[in-house]
Amino acid sequence: MLARAIEAAGVPTVMVTMMPFWAEKLGTPRTLGVEFPFGHAFGRAGERDEQLAVIRRALRVLAGATSPGTIEHHDQPWQGDFDEWRKRWQPSEPSPIIAFMRERAQQQAQERREGAART
């Protein structure tokens, strides 16, 4: 993970993420969890005050963390209809890797069903 390499060079980091659960599992040094739609970790485009609030909070996490693995949650709610923004982020067509993985998972599920039917 990039944060670990940067930390190993002596530069402290804080990760701002919509998925603090995974940050914890991956062992990031410091994490700020935000409940914002994907692609908008620091807030809405053009919303300077909203973005600065996230940056300031991340800097407080960076300055105040007393142990590795610190995770804090930003309490600022997403301004706007979260579900609408979440839908906007989703591409109309899946990326090639997602399409491949979906097809592969469907094939594996079909093979398991066929194997179970034979036994």
- Domain containing 13 equals 2-80
Q: Angle 50-79-71 (CA atoms, 0-180°, nearest 5)?
A: 65
Please give the Cα distance from 30 to 28 (Å, whole number): 6
Q: Looking at residue 95, what is its pLDDT?
A: 80
Tens of pLDDT along 63-72? 999 887 899 9
Mean pLDDT score of the chain: 87
Please give the Cα distance from 42 to 34 (Å, whole number): 8
Range in 23-32, 48-57, 87-96 with the lowest mean pLDDT? 87-96
Provide the phi-psi class of 113: left if phi over 0, else alpha when psi is between -120 and 50, else beta. alpha
Residue 34 lies in a domain: yes
DSSP per-residue letters across 29-45? SEEEE----TT-TT-ST
Residue 119 pLDDT more than 80? no
Residue 115 lies in a domain: no
Residue 21 lies in a domain: yes
As given in the structure block, the two tokens for residue 16 are 């701002």
Task: Report how many domains make up the chain.
Answer: 1
As given in the structure block, the two tokens for residue 105 are 């998972």
Tens of pLDDT along 83-115? 787 777 667 787 888 888 889 999 999 999 888
